[in-house]
Amino acid sequence: MSLIVQKYGGTSVASLDHIRRVAMGIVNTKRKGNKVAVVVSAMSGETDRLLNMASQVMVSPPGREQDALVATGEQSCAALMAITLESLGHRSKSYLGLQLPLITDEVHTKARIVDLQTEILHDAINEGVIPVIAGFQGVSNNGNITTLGRGGSDTTAVALAASLKADCCEIYTDVDGVYTADPNICPKARHLKKISYQEMLELAGLGTKVLHARSVELAQKYQVPLVVKSSFGGERQTWIVNEEEVMENSVIKGVTLERNVSKISLIRVPDRPGIAYKILSPLAETSINVDMIIQNASIDGFADFTFTIPTTDLEKARVLVNKVAEEVGALEMLADNNIVKVSAVGIGIKTNPGVAARMFKSLSEENINIEMISTSEYRISCVIEEKYGELAVRAVHKAFGLDQTDPKHDGDNQNE
Amino acid sequence: MSLIVQKYGGTSVASLDHIRRVAMGIVNTKRKGNKVAVVVSAMSGETDRLLNMASQVMVSPPGREQDALVATGEQSCAALMAITLESLGHRSKSYLGLQLPLITDEVHTKARIVDLQTEILHDAINEGVIPVIAGFQGVSNNGNITTLGRGGSDTTAVALAASLKADCCEIYTDVDGVYTADPNICPKARHLKKISYQEMLELAGLGTKVLHARSVELAQKYQVPLVVKSSFGGERQTWIVNEEEVMENSVIKGVTLERNVSKISLIRVPDRPGIAYKILSPLAETSINVDMIIQNASIDGFADFTFTIPTTDLEKARVLVNKVAEEVGALEMLADNNIVKVSAVGIGIKTNPGVAARMFKSLSEENINIEMISTSEYRISCVIEEKYGELAVRAVHKAFGLDQTDPKHDGDNQNE
């Protein structure tokens, strides 16, 4: 008998009909002889509705109150799911983060889990009750309701699976798993049956929306096998497991396109020690995430300094950097949001020299100019002009042999 | 410096605009040098929306889950109120029943308060924070969310006022207090500035919707001065206080009309000991509230047995009583929902013989036939044909000198 934690996202519980369909899936899992614990997000649209009300009242509502408000979305969905399971003849109870408790730090709207008690869930499961836990929320040591920020319900599910020592954590969402590229951009993208935690982390960090990085990190730390499935049915799924469980038949596991990228350049900055710190520290203080950084070789005591940031932070950054530019005596500041980042991700990169070269070659064959480059053990990223983004993804995808021969055919068998 | 508990009902917080207006009132109270704690209901319509979703899923949802669902209504309203107070420049925090805690028994959907801790509210108030408490909800000793049933937020407010040793509890609603009769029925009804707990209890029990009986009972028990005000402004208000604080210039304080009344008669029941118990116990077991009971004098060993129940329970009762009728050998069962109950309420009744006679006389002068009568220390009630209901109220109102001479004039001064 397995113990399975199932997590259903907002689109999976978007209406009472959706909830009923999901509930029947839960009942099926139980009928097959498994024990089940369920984590739910808010019904899709509900969190936005609540946040919108708060922002109508106040531009930046206090985090404590915003959390108390938003947490009602998961609470009502959990209660409705429990009622639906009861209506299908199964005992069920809903639980808030506060009731377990799921203890977090006091950083409202993006709290981190510090402790999780699951005794009452164990008791419930052993009594034959299906517990339905409101995802995304917790309680601080001071008794305040907190929320876990983006991807919070995934994180709740993985933490519960770890604490309950569940056999696996199933994440139900509106896609049936992870692909070698976004099928909307690259029609020859293949579905992946298995991917390592580390590769998934890189993909999540690069904007792949299937799972949030925090939940993957937690799954890796506590060795929780994760599986991503579609809540709308179908047999396909992607397992996220340890590196050694993934057959490495391909160097690269996926190609991603990140659009939320802009770059800022400071031209002719007097090249003194501490200059990079001086330029970037105001951004760090404002929690603007600087990604790639390039400083070209110093000529006659001056250098050009370029870095990328999320486009959503561009206006804020422009103001800050303009001020610094004057202070350090730069000639001028240039900003460009007309760029994208194409990345290749895979555990094969660290052991295969020449992977980077192959990627650069595929781009040059399409006459695409590379403006910036960064690499890590599991990733190579190139910043290019925006208009070439989708073409670049297809070129790199093909160059690493990821294209499935027949786009209508599931390429899964090539990946095992 | 006074400590005031203010409670705002659903119509007072029906929209973000309403909440803002209410928040400005709270700020005013604080600016006058008072300490304030606020209790809110759910935004009007929200509780029904949630209950409707639950009932779409299941006819009788488990009480535990229904409570967890419905409690989100007050929770989100409390958070929005706290955010609004913050937007006006005042520190504010929202609290759930669970967080205080407000401990109740485990009777879901109509729990009763067994304990209430207010240390964190005291601390908040002393730090200059305006606490906003989600009304209507509590938590059982087992950690389950409970709700207090009808009038629950009023009860929360009074319990908090008692526990905080507040100077008074202000109930803000959509009317500006208690009247000698429903002004829609009786245009000459006068506004009352003061009424005793006991009179208010009788009026609440007779369907006056200003306050629920439980909150009045609690206020009397803990000697919390209650005042009912309109959240839409105006100077009028009604104080609910001890009997000795009410100047008794009138024997009768108010006249009410209850429409939710039906009667059931069993004709020619063999008159044996225990027959009343046999007839009424199935109703008690089904929580159907039997109000007035008449058993006429036994003739040749048979008696007629008549009682009233809420019309909303008539169909259920009919089935139960029909069964009993056969068992006890009654000749037939008659049901009548074509009746209403007119009552006169006042602390003067117990010390003024002849009050009942005056009421009966006023009805007979209008040719209204009295079908049933019941009396208590503070109340005389007559069941009459429905079509005479409003006429009867006006007649009794006039007979006891309650009519204000000029309907446009506030009769308050006559009542002090």
- CATH number at B268 reads 3.30.2130.10
- A268 and A158, same structural domain? no
Contact A83 B94 (CB under 8 A): no
How far does B73 lie from chain A, in Å, by closest CA? 8
Does the structure show a pLDDT above 80 at B317?
yes
Does B237 reside within a domain?
A: no
User: Residue A42's domain is classified under what CATH number?
Assistant: 3.40.1160.10
Does B277 reside within a domain?
A: yes
Spatial separation of the C-alpha atoms in residues A72 and A50, rounded to whole Å: 9
Spatial separation of the C-alpha atoms in residues A3 and A330, rounded to whole Å: 61
Degrees, nearest 5: CA angle A194-A200-A203: 125
Does the structure show a pLDDT above 80 at A406?
no
Contact A57 B64 (CB under 8 A): no
**Top-confidence residue, B103 or A213:** B103
Pick the closest to residue B345 from B330, B355, B337 (CA basis).
B355
Does the structure show a pLDDT above 90 at B347?
no
Contact B80 A16 (CB under 8 A): no
Listed range (A214-218, A265-269, B273-277) with the worst mean pLDDT: B273-277
- How many domains does the structure of chain B reveal? 2
Does A278 reside within a domain?
A: yes
Contact B16 A56 (CB under 8 A): yes
Joined together, the tokens standing for residue B10 give: 């659903």
Dump pLDDT digits (tens) for B97-110: 999 999 999 999 99
How far does A273 lie from chain B, in Å, by closest CA? 45
Structure confidence at residue A254 as a pLDDT band (50, 70, 90) = very high
- B283 and B163, same structural domain? no
Contact B62 A82 (CB under 8 A): yes
How many pairs of residues across A and B have Cβ atoms under 8 Å apart? 112
Joined together, the tokens standing for residue A266 give: 């400071």
- B167 and B55, same structural domain? yes
Mutate to test the interface with B, among A51, A83, A96, A109 (most CBs of B within 10 A): A83
- A299 and A168, same structural domain? no
Does B44 reside within a domain?
A: yes
Does B267 reside within a domain?
A: yes
Does A298 reside within a domain?
A: yes
Structure confidence at residue A376 as a pLDDT band (50, 70, 90) = confident
Q: Of B157, B174, B191, which residue constitutes the final position of a domain?
A: B174
Does the structure show a pLDDT above 60 at B290?
yes
Pick the closest to residue A160 from A101, A109, A200, A106 (CA basis).
A101
SS3 A335: strand
- B144 and B16, same structural domain? yes
Taking CA atoms, A353 is separated from A251, A350, A377, in Å, by 10, 7, 11
Does the structure show a pLDDT above 90 at B275?
no
Dump pLDDT digits (tens) for A141-175: 999 999 998 889 999 999 999 999 999 999 999 88
- A22 and A148, same structural domain? yes
Q: Is the ipTM of this complex over 0.90?
A: no
- A137 and A34, same structural domain? yes
Does A399 reside within a domain?
A: no
Spatial separation of the C-alpha atoms in residues B224 and B218, rounded to whole Å: 8
Listed range (A61-65, A316-320, B93-97, B301-305) with the worst mean pLDDT: B301-305
- B114 and B18, same structural domain? yes
Task: Quote the domain boundaries for residue A332.
Answer: 262-336
Dihedral-angle region of residue A207 (phi above 0 means left; psi in -120 to 50 means alpha; beta otherwise): left
- A147 and A290, same structural domain? no
Chain A residue with CA closest to B67: the answer is: A79
Structure confidence at residue B71 as a pLDDT band (50, 70, 90) = very high
Q: Which amino acid makes up residue A128?
A: G
Longest dimension (CA), chain B: 79
The H or E element containing residue B376 is strand B370-376
Chain A residues within an 8 Å CB radius of B76: 50, 69, 72
SS3 A274: coil
Q: What is the mean pLDDT of residues B117-124?
A: 96
- A154 and A19, same structural domain? yes
- B168 and B285, same structural domain? no
Structure confidence at residue A248 as a pLDDT band (50, 70, 90) = low
Mutate to test the interface with A, among B13, B16, B20, B65 (most CBs of A within 10 A): B65
- A34 and A130, same structural domain? yes
Q: What is the mean pLDDT of residues B173-186?
A: 91
Whether the predicted model's global pTM rises above the 0.90 cut = no
Query: Do β-strands B226-230 and B254-258 pair in parallel, antiparallel, or remain unpaired?
Result: unpaired
Mean pLDDT of chain B: 91
Chain B residues within an 8 Å CB radius of A56: 16
Helix axis angle for A355-365 and A389-399, nearest 10°, is 130
Residue A411's pLDDT is 46
Taking CA atoms, A196 is separated from A237, A251, A263, A378, B177, in Å, by 14, 13, 31, 11, 68
How far does B128 lie from chain A, in Å, by closest CA? 16
Q: Of B296, B316, B336, which residue constitutes the final position of a domain?
A: B336
Q: Of B174, B207, B231, which residue constitutes the final position of a domain?
A: B174
Chain B residue with CA closest to A50: the answer is: B76
Mutate to test the interface with A, among B21, B72, B141 (most CBs of A within 10 A): B72
Nearest to A75 among B56, B72, B82 (CB): B72
**Beta carbons of B93 and B124 less than 8 angstroms apart:** yes
Residue A26's pLDDT is 97
Nearest to B61 among A72, A76, A83 (CB): A83
A→B contacts (Cβ < 8 Å), by residue, are: 16, 19-20, 50, 53-54, 56-58, 61-62, 64-66, 68-69, 71-72, 75-76, 78-80, 82-84, 86-87, 92-94, 96, 98-99, 120, 143, 145
Joined together, the tokens standing for residue B263 give: 């009667």
Does B382 reside within a domain?
A: no
How far does B51 lie from chain A, in Å, by closest CA? 10
- Going across the sheet that includes A339-345, the strands are A254-258, A339-345, A379-385, A370-376
Contact A72 B68 (CB under 8 A): no
